[in-house]
A and B are shown apart, each in its own frame.
Chain A
Amino acid sequence: MSNRLINWFRFSSPQTFYPLAGKMLPWFIVLAIAFGIAGLWVSFFVAPVDAQQGQGYRIIFVHVPASWMSMFLYVVMAAWAGFGLAFNTRLSSMMASAIAPTGALMAFLSLWSGALWGKPMWGTWWVWDARLTSELILLFLYLGFIALQAAIDDPRRADKAGAILALVGVVNVPIIYFSVKWWNTLHQGASVSLTKSPSMAQAMLWGMLLMALALWMYSIAAALARVRAIMLERERHAGWVEELPEMRA
Chain B
Amino acid sequence: MSATTQMGTQMSVIAVAIAVVRRDLLLALRRKSEVLTTLFFFVIVVSLFPLGIGPEMSLLRKIAPGVLWVAALLATMLSLNRLFGADYADGTLEQMTLSPVPLGLLVSAKILAHWLVAGLPLVLLAPVLGLQFDLDPRSLGVLMVSLLLGTPLLSLVGAIGAALTLGVRGGGVLVSLLTLPLYIPALIFGAGAVEADISGLGAGGHLSLLAALLALAVFFAPWATTAALRIALE
Contacts and interface: CB of A to CB of B under 8 A. Distances in A.
Direct contact of A and B (CB under 8 A): yes
A184 to B, nearest CB: 10
A164 B160 contact: yes
A88 B185 CA distance: 32
B60 interface: no
A182 B192 CA distance: 10
Given A164-B231, A183-B192, A148 B181 contact: no
**Which of the four size classes fits the interface of chain B?**
20 to 34
A161 B188 contact: no
B182 A172 contact: yes
Contacts, number: 73
A202 to B, nearest CB: 37
Nearest to B182: A172
Contacts of A176: 181, 184-185
Contacts of A180: 184, 188
A168 B232 CA distance: 16
Interface string A171-188: 110011011101100100
User: From DSSP, what is the main secondary structure of chain B's interface residues?
Assistant: helix
B231 A160 contact: yes
Given A152-B168, A186-B192, A137 B177 contact: no
Contacts of B228: 161, 164
A138 to B, nearest CB: 8
User: From DSSP, what is the main secondary structure of chain A's interface residues?
Assistant: helix
Given A140-B177, A151-B168, A161 B213 contact: no
B188 A143 contact: no
Interface in B175-234: 177-178, 180-182, 184-185, 188-189, 192, 196, 201, 209, 213, 220, 224, 227-228, 231-232, 234
A141 B182 CA distance: 8
Q: 5 shortest A-B CB distances, which residue pairs? A: A179-B185, A140-B181, A160-B231, A144-B178, A179-B188
Given A151-B171, A180-B188, 11 more contacts: A140-B177, A140-B181, A148-B164, A148-B168, A148-B178, A151-B168, A151-B169, A161-B228, A165-B178, A168-B182, A178-B185
20 contacts: A137-B184, A140-B181, A141-B181, A143-B177, A148-B164, A148-B174, A151-B165, A151-B168, A151-B171, A157-B234, A164-B160, A164-B164, A164-B231, A169-B182, A171-B220, A172-B185, A176-B185, A178-B185, A179-B189, A182-B188
